[in-house]
């Protein structure tokens, strides 16, 4: 594999890892990359690469069209049995989580967000406000870059761009979401939380969440929830994960820390 190919492979791996951290799972880019390398080897020496040939090809072509169509099948996520079995382990004591967001028309309002989260979740690096992976058998001394698309993931997101965004937006405009696996209005958690729901996202994963308005001036579609594989639905593990989100939502607090004059230039 030449230098350019290695750089390209590194970029593909980085994109897949970022998607996995976001709870979105593999993007399918690795399969496409391997297929491209396979075609390159065939063109050069008439044989396919061992890396590409070890995986079933997911490319499809149509004999009735002059243009080739390339497609791939998204993987089916399967939760390991050892993860499912952790449902019988009592949850670790909860701890208070704290982070800050900026609010206001010019982001001049500094706001502290706090909530309690089960000790079964360990904070990881993420691209949204807060993320923690369900690792009840681990302690805090672990690689925070670790990611696994088959492990449940707790998340707080200011600006979702998928099904959850549209569900919250529809509710805020007086409608009732019609694509939810579960939808219940909430009347006892303050003005910032109006409902909780369960939905299957576009990757086939399940999101159990509360709409939870972090900001006053923007991003009203924020939420707090947990993402897990579809095979967890109806299991004791799902109840344990949902209980952790219930506690986080119940203890959610928002406090203005400081107001600054920060006009955008």
User: What is the pLDDT at residue 219?
Assistant: 65
Q: DSSP states of 207-257 as a string?
A: EEEEE----SSS-TT-EEEEEE-GGGTTSHHHHHHHHHHHHHHHT-EEEEE
Closest CA to 116 of 239, 249, 241, 213: 249
Confidence band, pLDDT 50/70/90 cuts, at residue 53:
very low
Indicate the pTM of the whole model. 0.67
Mean of pLDDT over the chain = 76
Average pLDDT over residues 49-71: 39
Alpha helices, H only, the chain: 3-21, 29-45, 50-53, 81-84, 163-172, 236-250
Where residue 25 falls (left for φ over 0; alpha for ψ -120 to 50; beta otherwise) is: left
Highest average pLDDT, of 144-153, 161-170, 186-195, 212-221, comes from 186-195
Instruction: Measure the CA–CA gap between 30 and 101, rounded to whole angstroms.
Output: 35
User: What is the pLDDT at residue 143?
Assistant: 55
Q: Confirm if 177 and 197 have CB atoms less than 8 A apart.
A: yes
Instruction: Measure the CA–CA gap between 90 and 106, rounded to whole angstroms.
Output: 45
pLDDT at 7 over 60: no
Q: What separation in angstroms does the CA of 148 have from each of 12, 54, 134, 194? A: 16, 22, 10, 31
Instruction: Measure the CA–CA gap between 217 and 221, rounded to whole angstroms.
Output: 12
Instruction: Measure the CA–CA gap between 170 and 27, rounded to whole angstroms.
Output: 28
User: What is the pLDDT at residue 54?
Assistant: 38
- Per-residue pLDDT tens digits for 38-48: 555 555 444 44
- Per-residue pLDDT tens digits for 85-132: 999 999 999 999 998 888 876 678 888 999 999 999 999 888 888 999
What's phi and psi for 115, nearest 5 deg?
-165, 165
Q: Confirm if 21 and 131 have CB atoms less than 8 A apart.
A: yes
Instruction: Measure the CA–CA gap between 70 and 62, rounded to whole angstroms.
Output: 10
Burial class (CB in 10 A: 0-12, 13-18, 19+), 155: buried
The helix/strand/coil state of 113 is: strand
Instruction: Measure the CA–CA gap between 252 and 214, rounded to whole angstroms.
Output: 10
């Amino acid at each position: 594999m030449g230098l350019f190919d290695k750089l390209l492979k590194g970029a593909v791996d980085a994109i897949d890892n970022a998607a996995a951290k976001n709870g979105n799972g593999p993007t399918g880019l690795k399969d496409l990359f391997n297929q491209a390398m396979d075609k390159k080897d065939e063109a050069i020496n008439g044989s396919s690469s061992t890396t590409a040939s070890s995986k079933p090809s997911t490319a499809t072509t149509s004999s009735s069209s002059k243009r080739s169509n390339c497609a791939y099948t998204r993987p089916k996520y399967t939760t390991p049995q050892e993860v499912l079995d952790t449902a019988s382990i009592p949850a670790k004591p909860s701890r208070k989580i704290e982070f800050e967001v900026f609010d206001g028309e010019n982001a001049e309002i500094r706001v502290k967000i706090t909530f309690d989260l089960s000790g079964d979740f360990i904070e990881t690096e993420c691209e949204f406000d807060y993320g923690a992976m369900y690792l009840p058998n681990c302690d805090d001394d672990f690689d925070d870059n670790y990611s696994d698309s088959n492990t449940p993931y707790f998340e707080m997101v200011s600006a979702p761009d998928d099904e959850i965004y549209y569900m919250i937006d529809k509710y805020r405009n007086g409608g009732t979401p019609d694509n939810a696996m579960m939808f219940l209005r909430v009347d006892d958690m303050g003005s910032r939380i109006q409902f909780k729901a369960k939905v299957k996202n576009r990757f086939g994963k399940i999101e159990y969440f509360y709409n939870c308005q972090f900001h006053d001036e923007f991003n009203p579609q924020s939420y707090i929830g947990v993402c897990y594989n579809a095979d967890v639905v109806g299991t004791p593990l799902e109840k344990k994960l949902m209980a952790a989100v219930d506690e986080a939502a119940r203890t959610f607090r928002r406090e203005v820390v400081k107001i600054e004059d920060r006009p955008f230039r």
